[in-house]
Amino acid sequence: MELEPMDDFEKELRQTFERQPAPPGMKGKIMARRRVSEPRSHAVLWQRLAASLALAAVLGGVVEWNWHLREERRKGEAARQQVLTALRITNHALNHMNKQLAAHGRAVQE
Amino acid sequence: MAHDWQPDFEQLVDEHQSMVFSLALRMTGDRGLAEEIAQDVFLELDRNLGKIESQPHACFWLRRVAMNRSTDALRRRRVHGINLWVEMEDRHGIKVEERASPLGARLEQLLATLPEPQRAALVLRYQEELTPEEIAATLEAPLATVKSNLQRGLKLLRAKAGVYLKEYIRGT
Amino acid sequence: MQNRIMALVLGAAVLAAPARAQTAKLPAPSPVEKALAARAFSVDEVTLDKNMLAFAAKFMAGKNKDDAGIQHLIDGLDGIYIRDYEFDKPGQFTAEDVEQLRKYFETSEWSPLVRDRDRKTGESTDVMIKLVNGKTGGMFILDVCPKEISVVLILGPIRMDDLGKLSSLGGLGALGTVEKSVQDKEKKGGHQ
């Protein structure tokens, strides 16, 4: 469909509604939240590490012990991320609830 | 589904974060809320990264989800008798007189007074420069509805801006 | 931020009759959860019993300040049970689903604290607490939006002050910014 050429008012709108830059640090927050919610990269890292250590275990018992320690660490990190997910959702629910209560409180006042 | 292009999440954030944030900001008029929405949009993108087939598809997907989430947020938020003009100033953190174009600043405020469907159509038309067909696809709305919203929204905005212009001229 | 809840909980605790303390157990998933999960496009399920929480807390010890804050929050808890269902459009669940979910968790040990309903939008919030020996022994939140249902069940002694600091802990997102917006609006009194 061919659009009509923009008049001056529409050009003003186009200029006014230019995209605004995202707040500084927003990308960092996104990446941080992504790490909390998706441990894919950790899983890949730990999978690769476990595979290497399994091979080395054939050569000596010390490596087998190190693998055990790392497994413990992996499980700990997985548990930690579960906790963070739980708290994030709790925070979100509490915030929403507070907004609801605040709004209804205002409605009652009116 | 096999496709050659592999999405790079961080690159998509870099390329589109201002678009997503601006859409949420113009729909909600609230910087804090817009940032929260923008973050949620990208996290949802991360969960659905496997479904993104190309750069244009990513852009389309982000616009659609940003608009959906903004509409949801507006529905959740209670607005009782707020003086929107004053609140727009506070939320944007920019005083009207500081903007290069006072009319431009007022247009931002006037946008917030429009009904949501008209606001959505105008934001996609003038911020994103989408055609009515593209807007209809983004909003999953009939083309006729989008055209009607564009027409009515623009008419309303002109009328309100016209009132403001007259006042502004009288003021100088 | 969570002062509202804290005030209600502390008030309820004063009035509560003493009860014998026992380690609370996490419930089995309710039947309706499976149906909700099947319809949702995004599901988060976290079930951490006492042992897992202790293990996570031990792992967080001695790390950064944020982890220390979280460790303090979960220290001593008996369990955390979280379900979050996001749907791609409204109408994917019914009021009956929500009611079933709420009834499943509302056993006699739990006292309703908040019951907020919006008939127009269908949004609702239920908060219940469990009091053990006059202290908070658990908290339950059921938060319903048109496209999302969140179930939060925390068992054990909850430190309400620490819960109030949730949004300031790193890695949990910028939800504190939204809360600040609400607080700012309330301070300015712009909602008359």
Residue C182 has pLDDT above 80, yes or no: no
Between CA A97 and CA C127 the distance in angstroms is 9
- Would you give the DSSP letter of residue C166? G
Between strands C124-132 and C79-86, the pairing is: unpaired
pLDDT recorded at residue C8:
55
Q: Given CB atoms, is C13 within the 8 Å cutoff of chain A?
A: no
Give percent above pLDDT 90 in chain C. Answer: 19
Residue A46 has pLDDT above 50, yes or no: yes
Cα–Cα nearest to C101, from C79, C78, C124: C124
Between CA A70 and CA A47 the distance in angstroms is 11
Low-confidence residues in chain B, pLDDT < 70: 1-4, 77-102, 163-172
Chains with ≥3 CB–CB distances under 8 Å to A: B, C
Which residues 101-160 of C are in CB contact (within 8 Å) with A?
114, 116, 118, 123, 125, 127, 141, 143, 145, 150, 152, 154
Who's near C142: CB < 8 A, 6+ residues apart?
C98, C101, C102, C105, C124, C125, C126, C127, C149, C150, C151, C152
Q: How far is A59 from chain C (nearest CA, A)?
A: 30
CB C73 within 8 A of CB C159: yes
Cα–Cα nearest to B128, from B66, B72, B85: B66
Residue type, C73: L
Q: For residue B68, give both structure tokens.
A: 């959906």
Between CA A36 and CA A77 the distance in angstroms is 10
pLDDT recorded at residue C98:
93
Nearest by CB to residue C172, choosing from A77, A87, A109, is A87
Mean pLDDT of C19-32: 71
* CB neighbours of residue C38 within 10 Å: 9
Q: Which residues of B touch A (CB under 8 A)?
A: 9-10, 13-14, 17-22, 25-26, 31, 35, 38-39, 42-43, 46-47, 76-78, 80-81, 101, 103-104, 107-108, 111, 122-123, 126-127, 129, 131-133, 154, 157-158, 161
Contact between chains at B80 and A9 (C-beta distance less than 8 A) = no
Residue of C nearest to A74 (CA): C59
Q: How far is C46 from chain A (nearest CA, A)?
A: 6
Confidence of residue A59 (pLDDT cuts 50, 70, 90): low
Identify the weakest region by mean pLDDT among A27-36, C106-115, C135-144.
Answer: C106-115
Mean pLDDT of A54-67: 68
Residue type, A90: T
CB C56 within 8 A of CB C68: no
* CB neighbours of residue C119 within 10 Å: 7
Q: Given CB atoms, is C190 within the 8 Å cutoff of chain A?
A: no
Average pLDDT, chain C: 75
Residue type, C191: H
Q: Which fold has domain B82-172?
A: Arc Repressor Mutant, subunit A (1.10.10)
pLDDT recorded at residue B135:
96
The residue with greater pLDDT, B3 or C131, is C131
Contact between chains at C182 and A98 (C-beta distance less than 8 A) = yes
SS3 C62: coil
pLDDT recorded at residue C56:
87
pLDDT recorded at residue A9:
86
Cα of first residue to Cα of last residue in chain A, in angstroms, is 49
pLDDT in tens, C37-81: 888 888 888 899 898 888 888 888 776 777 787 888 888 899 999
* CB neighbours of residue C123 within 10 Å: 18
pLDDT in tens, A79-104: 888 888 888 888 888 888 877 777 76
Q: Which of A60-64, C99-103, C180-184 has the highest mean pLDDT?
A: C99-103
Which residues 101-140 of B are in CB contact (within 8 Å) with C?
none
Contact between chains at C178 and B81 (C-beta distance less than 8 A) = no
Whether pTM > 0.90 for this model: the answer is no
pLDDT in tens, B15-59: 999 999 999 999 998 888 899 999 999 999 999 998 999 999 999
Who's near C179: CB < 8 A, 6+ residues apart?
A95, A98, C1, C167
CATH number of B7-77: 1.10.1740.10
ipTM of this predicted complex?
0.78
- Residues A21, A23, A24: CA angle, nearest 5 degrees: 110
Mean pLDDT of C126-152: 88
pLDDT recorded at residue B18:
96
CA A74 to chain CA centroid, Å, is: 19
Domain limits, chain B: 7-77, 82-172
């997503």: which residue's tokens?
A: B20
Strand C124-132: give its sheet, edge to edge: C42-49, C79-86, C148-155, C135-145, C124-132, C110-117
Q: How many helices (H) and strands (E) does chain A have?
A: 4, 0
